[in-house]
């Protein structure tokens, strides 16, 4: 395995390219107060939720339109200076870090829902629109956007990392739900990919090329998405288990029987304890599945009954139902706050958060061995998983000043990912590669595939200015 153990190995060299004063002057002339070189602003845009420390970008441009993005990229290209797109800063693998210097383009101000085509079940948005904002605007239409990565991420960032989340087992990931994009290329040109039609056989699938490219091929400035009718009935339930294995075996059985469950989340006992403390809940501090069922009232009842019967076979107990929107929101808010609950459980810590995804038949093999290793390490951790599609997340809580704890966390991450790859899985189910998993991508995809990615990158970004130093090394 090419697994790195420290930032020096993650990035062979933090090669800060020079950002000429002439470029900063040109940006300030074009953007005036929309361009900032203030230290606090640069620092804010020079970090994400990863545990790495890298010098911040030289300047931040606050884009309000596609033309703003195009002009900023064109100016950066003139001086061969890197460009890093920035949404809300919630990424976990170092995607936003200016490892080669450059400028940050903040698209949070591009936050308009441009059109809702309810008859076609599509919506077009700017990249700074967040998933919660979109669903709030769709509420009166009886429609919703289901992709829910937990954090209130921007939709542009969700496209860039090919995000998924709690609803993926039923509704898929961003890959299945992005129909079309507007993108600013490395030269500052504006292109469009895809249409509002549900399918196409026309040419290369450029939309899928940009979805998951992590800002390394262009800056996404507009997104057309699939949306869905709100289910007639929704019911949520929590069920506690005597062991993680029992919860995982239940999940595997539910999926293999074809029960159309909408969400099934695993939370281990450590995380339940942290969530109880953070969100003032009284959940049983045992491994738990948090589930949700969508459909007609009759189908929801049938699904829930089937799952309850399966769970009881594996020792599941204390089924608790949440049928009102307020009860469901309370449960899912607690789940979404698991990361912050974990961070607060050890004041001053940072989290190395990692995820993998394996075929559902190998989920127990991968997860149980990984739990055993984490327990034996003595390092505090949390575990959550969108286990309905074989995806789970570990967060190792470490003292940022302890080299030993960082080494332990990276070793655990290394063995976890190696195990997932051996079992036919992937090094990342939804976080993306960023900096942290560059070595693992080589192991997963192979040298030939990485060389093909490099060829595409060089063709579309010959000056290597689009978020350089991410996904793979040139």
CA distance 6 to 337: 28
* Residue 132, domain member (yes or no): yes
Ranges under pLDDT 70 in the chain = 1-14
Contact 393, 355 (CB under 8 A): yes
Q: pLDDT tens-digit profile of 5-41?
A: 444 444 444 678 899 999 999 999 999 999 999 999 9
Q: Is residue 263 part of a domain?
A: yes
Q: How far is CA 304 from the centre of its chain?
A: 28
Q: Last residue of a domain, which of 202, 229, 256?
A: 229
Q: What is the CATH number of the domain that holds 192?
A: 3.30.465.10
Give the model's pLDDT for residue 281. 87
CA distances from 260 to 150, 219, 306 (A): 21, 36, 11
Domain range enclosing 209:
113-229
Helix and strand counts by DSSP (H, E) for the chain: 18, 18
**Could you tell me the sign of the dihedral formed by the alpha carbons of 357, 359, 360, 362, in that order?**
negative
pLDDT at 6: 45
Residue 473 domain flag: no
Q: Tell me what pLDDT residue 7 has.
A: 44
pLDDT in the model for residue 368 = 93
Is residue 66 situated within a structural domain? yes
Q: Are residues 122 and 77 in the same domain?
A: no
Helix (H, G, I), strand (E, B) or coil at 242: coil
Same domain for 286 and 269: yes
pLDDT of residue 273: 94
Give the pLDDT of residue 14.
Answer: 61
pLDDT at 4: 44
| Final residue belonging to a domain, choices 91, 109, 127 | 109
Angle at the Cα of 62 from the Cα atoms of 59 and 66, rounded to 5 degrees: 120
Domain tally, the chain:
4
Q: What is the model's pLDDT at position 287?
A: 95
Tell me what percent of the residues of the chain surpass a pLDDT of 90: 81
Q: Could you say which of 186, 201, 229 is where a domain stops?
A: 229
* Dist. CA 179–CA 155, nearest whole Å: 13
Contact 306, 253 (CB under 8 A): no
Same domain, 335 and 345: no
């Amino acid at each position: 395995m090419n697994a790195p153990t420290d930032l020096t190995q993650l990035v062979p060299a933090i090669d800060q390219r020079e950002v000429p004063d002439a470029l900063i002057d040109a940006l300030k002339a074009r953007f005036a107060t929309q361009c900032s070189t203030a230290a606090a602003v640069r620092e804010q845009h020079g970090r994400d939720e990863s545990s790495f420390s890298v010098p911040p970008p030289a300047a931040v441009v606050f884009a309000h339109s596609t033309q703003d993005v195009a002009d900023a990229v064109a100016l950066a290209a003139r001086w061969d200076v890197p460009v890093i797109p920035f949404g809300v800063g919630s990424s976990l693998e170092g995607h936003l870090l200016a490892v080669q210097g450059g400028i940050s383009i903040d698209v949070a101000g591009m936050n308009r829902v441009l059109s809702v085509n309810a008859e076609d079940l599509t919506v077009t948005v700017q990249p700074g629109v967040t998933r919660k904002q979109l669903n709030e605007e769709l509420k009166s239409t009886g429609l919703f956007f289901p992709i829910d990565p937990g954090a209130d991420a921007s939709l542009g960032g969700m496209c860039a990392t090919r995000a998924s989340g709690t609803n993926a087992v039923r509704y898929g990931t961003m890959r299945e739900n992005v129909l079309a994009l507007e993108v600013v290329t490395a030269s500052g040109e504006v292109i469009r990919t895809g249409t509002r039609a549900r399918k196409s056989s026309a040419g290369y699938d450029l939309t899928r090329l940009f979805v998951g490219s992590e800002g390394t091929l262009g800056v996404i400035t507009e997104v057309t998405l699939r949306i869905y009718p709100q289910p007639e009935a929704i019911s949520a339930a929590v069920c506690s288990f005597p062991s993680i294995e029992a919860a995982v075996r239940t999940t595997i059985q539910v999926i293999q029987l074809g029960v159309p469950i909408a969400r099934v989340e695993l939370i281990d006992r450590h995380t339940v304890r942290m969530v109880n403390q953070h969100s003032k809940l009284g959940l049983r501090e045992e491994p738990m599945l948090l589930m949700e069922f969508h459909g007609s009232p009759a189908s929801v009842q049938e699904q829930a009954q089937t799952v309850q019967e399966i769970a009881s076979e594996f020792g599941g107990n204390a089924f608790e139902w949440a049928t009102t929107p307020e009860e469901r929101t309370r449960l899912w808010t607690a789940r979404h706050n698991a990361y912050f609950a974990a961070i607060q459980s050890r004041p001053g810590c940072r989290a190395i958060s990692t995820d993998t995804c394996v075929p559902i038949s190998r989920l127990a093999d991968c997860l149980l061995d990984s739990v055993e290793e984490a327990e034996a390490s003595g390092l505090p951790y949390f575990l959550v998983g969108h286990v309905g599609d074989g995806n789970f997340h570990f967060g190792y809580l470490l003292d940022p000043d302890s080299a030993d704890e960082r080494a332990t966390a990276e070793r655990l991450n290394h063995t976890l990912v190696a195990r997932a790859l051996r079992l036919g899985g992937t090094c990342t189910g939804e976080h993306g590669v960023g900096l942290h998993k560059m070595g693992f991508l080589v192991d997963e995809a192979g040298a030939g595939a990485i060389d093909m990615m490099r060829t595409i990158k060089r063709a579309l970004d010959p000056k290597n200015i689009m978020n350089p130093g991410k996904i793979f090394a040139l």
